Amino acid sequence: MSEISQVIIKNERVKNLQAGHPWIFSGGIVRVSEGLGNGAVCRICDQENRFLATGYYNKHSEIRVRILSFADEAINRAFFQRRIQTLRADKEQFLPPDTDSYRVVFGESDSLPGLIVDKYADVLVIQLHTAGMDRLREAIVGALEEVFQPRCIYERSDVSVRLNEGLKTQPKQLLAGQDLDEVLIRENGILFWVNFKEGQKTGFFLDQRENRSLVARFCPKRRVLNCFAYTGAFSVYAVLAGARSVTSVDISGKALEYARKNFEANRINTKKYMFIEHDVFEYLKSVQADEYDLIILDPPSFAKNKEQVKKAIKAYITINSKALEKLPPGGILVSSSCTTHIDQETFIKILHQSAVNTHCRLKVLAATMQPHDHPYNLSFPEGRYLKFFVLQKVC
């Protein structure tokens, strides 16, 4: 790479970089080579001009540089092909049997910052969050085609995080292969339809795969209420595990149509179960005490940024308190948070406050986080986001 594409960082920031953190903030930069464009690949050096890493630069972001490699190498299709092939091998070795879908690339945690790739059977869905990855789109798509030979590669970069990079939200678009709307996937031998064009995020919440199996162990003979049910994945697991009844509640009628479709895909008679299109906060007000003895709360993120955290905490306490209020003694509360800006300790405090509000205690039966295909590195704790608890109400 030429001298023009260099970023010189302060020597006191070198240790943090060498420890593996993938970001360099604006305050850590001494100077940037003239002509270095937003999203352009660059060499990162210390003040003695010693090479440290390869990354990409963006003056519009407080995170000025994101690291791609600690080698002085070209960032091209061959680079992505090597990285993605390695990630595929690493992740597939830990997948449960009869499962064909997982997160191939999880941004910084997989050393490809700004890139998300989800594999749904033979369909790949990608998100490009940063200017750097946006400029590398062609190389990424070519590498994915080489590694997976997918039936379809579809882009879902219709995300607001791109605005922080000085980018527009990207229209949904087909990048390669057949123009499909949906795909049937297998997870632990269970079938699910994924609408990757119109569904939330990339179409399905792969990060709850292990947690769905976990919750199923507590469902036999119980009356289950699945709140924020989306396309009914937790509900399908509950039915197949032998729940006495399962009610799925979501504000989206379209999502519940897919919930019914997923029941049918697994040969479950939808007429035996309830699908309710309603705001969950309002619905819980109408629930009779002891009507359900297992309630699942898996809401979308309540805080998109740090400024919304206080409001999010209040919402989590409200929804968990309301659910606990309706559960009988010995009932099970499954509570999850995908809000990055609320850490594990804060979420535990939220759950405890919810118990205090409803004059009960909560026994922790299980506590987990995101699965191996959504990893987080100890050098990058920002990659940890999912908090998941199975709790028993004790009075």
Residues designated as active site: 338
Q: How far apart are CA 132 and CA 115, in angstroms?
A: 10
CA distances from 242 to 25, 260, 292 (A): 51, 18, 15
Cβ contact 295:257 at 8 Å: no
Cβ contact 303:311 at 8 Å: yes
Cβ contact 143:80 at 8 Å: yes
